[in-house]
Structure 1
């Protein structure tokens, strides 16, 4: 593997923002006080304000076109009108995904594309009408209006009243005086009017406004969370389509991995055992020619060939172990991982606590995962000890490999850990790396538990 422990954070160090006073000041402000002036808050506020007019237009378009299409279904014209309504709603969805990406920071992939069966307008119309994504876009266009109206009213009310009350000490004197008093009339009739005009009342008003102003961003975030759910759930790809894409990607990873393994086996055979056996055949041929002329030289050559045979057998044995070790098939993970640990250059403690054996495929992936991680420890970690723990947690097989080395392993560095993570992902597994610079390193792998 190519992962270099101790270099994983070289390309991922975060810049130090403490060099600027502005960034430092924002860091020192608590989150509750910083929220009203954050760019995120103003972007979400702008998103909420824009949602109402867009919601009105979307609702009018969707309801009008849907009603027209359904009403004309008694004629042939209703079908293309209904398809046009759905196509228009897909266009609204594209606009909403762009708006959510720009103002909410929500990146939602486009839904699965239309796949007309055949050519012509009727094939396209049929694909639009059969697409579940089209109907989800229509539902979003209808639901957007009532929700955007609610969020608009709540946001504008809290935002305007909060800032108005917070800044009340600056403008209360602008109101006309009445009986020597000024300020907003809180309650009362012509005979008994009460104004917010003394220092205590003005201070309480400003304090209340401050609380409302500080609470508004969090209310706004709660409202936009619903928008995020609606955009992601109704305007993105369906779970089935996402799963199909994942399976296609996993299939590609499995095929590439199998091809790489075959190339590795071919290379090992060609450069190792095959080359040694060719040389052995030549040596035995020479020994056969010298057998009559120089028996002692022939005997020495046969003896050397015997040694070459032993080395070739060991290489073939190691190659077979790399494909699938016999000890794993015969005795399971405990014995197989103990054999791996014995060959590691660092003392490794192995603890396996499994009530039964998982499926052979999962067992093999677990074995090779630990094998590659132990190779990393041997080559790059500069550790003095390591540990391997294997256990079952509900329907998952858990592996954890730790060492006290220099750390810095990074799964995002495009190294061997990246390939290992892709292999695990192909079977719905997970690889988590915790390796701060300076160590220690803890790598946890999670695999689905499937009974043998």
Structure 2
């Protein structure tokens, strides 16, 4: 058996170790570099710390929830249960901090409590109705068995790998103190196999090296489950995240609408309104001179007629800025061509669309191009 193992791993050891010792650390492949990286040791530390933390969380959650459930027949049940859930939320914050420090996982805080009433009753009701509180309780229950499994697997694989890797350094303990030739690989009443000759010792060290190299990746796979649990149970829910996004989008829409209203008000005040005021004054003067100097009055009426045309054009431009009729009736190509025809610099319009987009998309494209062409004309 020892000979078969030696033939199987002898070629690998001959080609692997020179590369391992000859290259510098930063040039090593990720598989050889992983056991010495700080990230691997942080993840291993996360698994080690996870066991006592899991015991603490599970003990607290089961004890407090059981006590609160048992006291629900009295007035003390609800406060105890609310305190249990609040404590689980606090432990959830601690777990997010631990994941951030050791795993580099940044998870946002869950949605805050929504107090509908002030006082202790309002707080207890908010805690009991909060989905984040119950998710924190679920995390406390699930994290314990997973932390036990992760701890056992990670520690055993890590210890086995390093023990076998360093076997050439301590195999002498067996003949000196244990009364046997080496580490016993197999044994029954009639036959025993020991790892005692140099070839078998070298193969044992090579097997330990393989386990040592595989341990960081195994631990990383184990902590992936922890990442999923922390992110899914201790972070904000999808609904809460969506609500925050909608509130942000609503704020953007409100700000945009307010800016558009201010722009329309400014354009009316500076453009059409000013021209209409001048038009009223000109018509008043023309009315006064109509009997005294009909020729001068006719000239003033003619100028007022020109002002009316200009004011109408400005109102059309303003209405076009709100939503042009040509965009609704004829589409983006005709609307952009109309904008380009009024630009002071030569503009060529090319619109290549397989089908007409949604009206909102057309509006965004139209106003973007209009704003760009206006800036070109001004500057």
Distance 2:160 2:197 in 1: 18
Distance 1:94 1:79 in 2: 23
Partner of residue 132, structure 1: 131
Partner of residue 372, structure 1: 368
Retained in 1: the 8 A contact 2:182–2:195?
yes
Retained in 2: the 8 A contact 1:324–1:364?
no
1:38–1:77 Cα change, 3 Å? same
1:185–1:378 Cα change, 3 Å? farther
Partner of residue 60, structure 1: 59
Distance 1:218 1:339 in 2: 63
Check if 1:195 corresponds to 2:195. yes
1:42–1:369 Cα change, 3 Å? farther
Aligned-residue offset at 1:40: 2.7
Distance 1:33 1:340 in 2: 63
SS at match of 1:76: coil
SS at match of 1:194: strand
Q: Deviations over 1:286-325 (max 9, x none)?
A: 6666777777776666665555544443333222222111
In structure 2, the gaps of 5 or more residues are 1-23
Normalising by structure 2, report the TM-score. 0.76
Aligned-residue offset at 1:280: 4.4
Task: Describe how 1:71-220 pairs up with structure 2 within 5 A.
Answer: 71-169=70-168, 171-172=169-170, 174-177=172-175, 184-188=183-187, 192-195=192-195, 197-198=197-198, 200-220=199-219
In structure 1, the gaps of 5 or more residues are 1-24, 381-452
Aligned-residue offset at 1:148: 0.8
Distance 1:99 1:69 in 2: 28
Partner of residue 36, structure 1: 35
1:34–1:277 Cα change, 3 Å? farther
Aligned-residue offset at 1:221: 2.4
Partner of residue 46, structure 1: 45
* Alignment coverage as a number of residue pairs: 347
Aligned-residue offset at 1:106: 2.2
1:313–1:378 Cα change, 3 Å? closer
Retained in 2: the 8 A contact 1:341–1:349?
no
SS at match of 2:352: strand
Q: Deviations over 1:205-225 (max 9, x none)?
A: 444334333333332222222
Retained in 1: the 8 A contact 2:332–2:366?
no
Aligned-residue offset at 1:187: 3.1
Distance 2:209 2:347 in 1: 61
SS at match of 1:186: strand
Partner of residue 350, structure 1: 351
Normalising by structure 1, report the TM-score. 0.65
Partner of residue 234, structure 1: 233
Q: Which has the larger radius of gyration?
A: 2
Partner of residue 222, structure 1: 221
Retained in 2: the 8 A contact 1:280–1:309?
yes
1:69–1:297 Cα change, 3 Å? same
Aligned-residue offset at 1:52: 0.8
CA RMSD of aligned residues (A): 3.6
Partner of residue 10, structure 2: none
Moved more, 93-102 or 239-248: 239-248
Retained in 2: the 8 A contact 1:65–1:81?
yes
Q: Deviations over 1:193-234 (max 9, x none)?
A: 331542x44444444334333333332222222212212222
